[in-house]
Amino acid sequence: MSSERILVVDDEDAIREVVATLLEAKGYECVTATNGQDALAQLHTRPPDLVLSDVVMPEMDGMELLGRIRSGNEAVPVVMVTAMHDISIALEAIRRGAYDYILKPFERDQLYHAVHRALEHRRLVQENRRYQHELEQRVADRTAQLSKALQELEQSYDYTLEALGGALDLKDAETEGHCQRVTAYTICIARAMGVSGPDLHHIARGAFLHDIGKMAVPDSILRKPGPLTPEEWVVIKRHCEVGFEVLRRIPFLKEAAEIVLAHQERYDGSGYPRGLKGDEIPLGARIFAIADTLDAMISDRPYRRALSLAEAHEEIAKFSGTQFDPKAVKVFRTLPDRVWQELRENIGEPFRLSQLKDL
């Protein structure tokens, strides 16, 4: 036996009772209303599974009731029942969203058939909605799983690249901790220039890995205490391209690889390896150039002691437009000295690639 609930709306008592009795004999639960207003009150209290409504009724007719139902509850099918043999009214009812339209007087089987079809339609619509919701949920869950797996994969890459950075520090002890410090400075300037999200991540990775190509430079050159020969400079300069070739094969490091390739370019086009000029140089590389110079100047070297922040500011401003991007220099100079002082003081555990998720 069925347990669907049907609301029968008709201003004629006899018709309401006959329709309700016929449907209850089939196992349906029936409630009745004398007009559209009465029906709406019952709809708000407990929505039925189906509405059977007359067209001509006092206070609120069936057409207005149909419009109210369709605007508030798309899931409830409505079957119009009327003695008006006018095809235009039937078409208007269908246009307004009625599922079906039957004429009085009707056969009992005709009523049963219309009700069965309307309720079956409702069931199919509900099943389809449930299926769509479950499918959307499965897609969302799967997407979340894939996103987590990708993040874990990137995290694994970052740990590996951190290890390479540590190995580079051991290889070039003179600049130990340089890649971490210069990454922190680069992120600071980039943020001040409005860079955020994935772009900030790409720039951070590019800054951190800028010298990764030096892994291919022989120790005899990298650690040479005296001046380098022209031939040795050729070898050193190749580290940009070597680093680029290492990183460009990793999909999520393609943008970082471009920064690695361009990190020795100069704003006036006199840098290497491609002699890029101005905005041809990736933004991350232009920002890095300032951070790299800052770290070199305010760090102790075997051949000189660290310069002051004031001297570093003066030197960087001096080469604005030649070595450095003037816009990046302008932003850099707006940042107070305490920013760089705090970064250096807290550099004992400096920026790591594994911290990118927390940027």
Q: CATH code at 319?
A: 1.10.3210.10
Least confident range from 22-31, 33-42, 142-151, 181-190: namely: 142-151
To which residue do tokens 């995290």 refer? Answer: 155
Domain membership of residue 94 as a residue range:
5-131
Final residue in a domain of this structure, among 81, 115, 131: 131
CA atoms within 13 A on the CB side of 94: 9
- pTM, entire model: 0.60
Question: Does the pLDDT value for residue 302 go beyond 90?
Answer: no
Residue 2: the pLDDT is 52
Are both 337 and 194 inside the same structural domain?
yes
Pair (335, 271) in one structural domain: yes
Name the domain boundary from 99, 131, 163: 131
Here the CATH number for the domain that contains residue 10 is 3.40.50.2300
pLDDT confidence tier of residue 185, bands split at 50, 70 and 90: very high
Is residue 184 within 8 Å of 343, Cβ to Cβ? yes
d(CA 71, CA 49): 16
Are 335 and 188 in contact, with CB atoms under 8 Å apart?
yes
Per-residue exposure over 127-147, b if at least 16 CB sit within 10 Å of its own CB, e if not: eeeeeeeeeeeeeeeeeeeee
- Residue 91: φ, ψ to 5°: -65, -40
* Contact in structure between 123 and 34 (CB atoms under 8 Å): no
Residue finishing a domain among 131, 163, 193? 131
- Count of domains for the chain: 2
User: For residue 150, how many other CB atoms are within 10 A of its CB?
Assistant: 12
Residue 249 domain-assigned?
A: yes
Whole-number Å distance between alpha carbons of 323 and 325: 7
Q: Based on the domain organization, do 98 and 234 belong to the same domain?
A: no
Instruction: Tell me, yes or no, whether 18 lies in a domain.
Output: yes
Q: What's the whole-number average pLDDT of the chain?
A: 88
Residue 176 in this model has a pLDDT that exceeds 80: no
Asked if residue 141 is part of any domain, the answer here is no
Q: Is the dihedral of CA 151, 153, 156, 161 positive or negative?
A: negative
Do residue 58 and residue 125 come from a single domain? yes
Q: For 102, list phi and psi in degrees, rounded to 5.
A: -125, 150
| Residue 1 pLDDT greater than 80, yes or no | no
Is 164 among the domain residues? no
pLDDT at 299: 84
Are residues 98 and 186 part of one domain? no
Looking at 2-16, 58-72, 336-350, which range is the least confident one?
336-350
The reply to whether 96 and 215 lie within a common domain is no
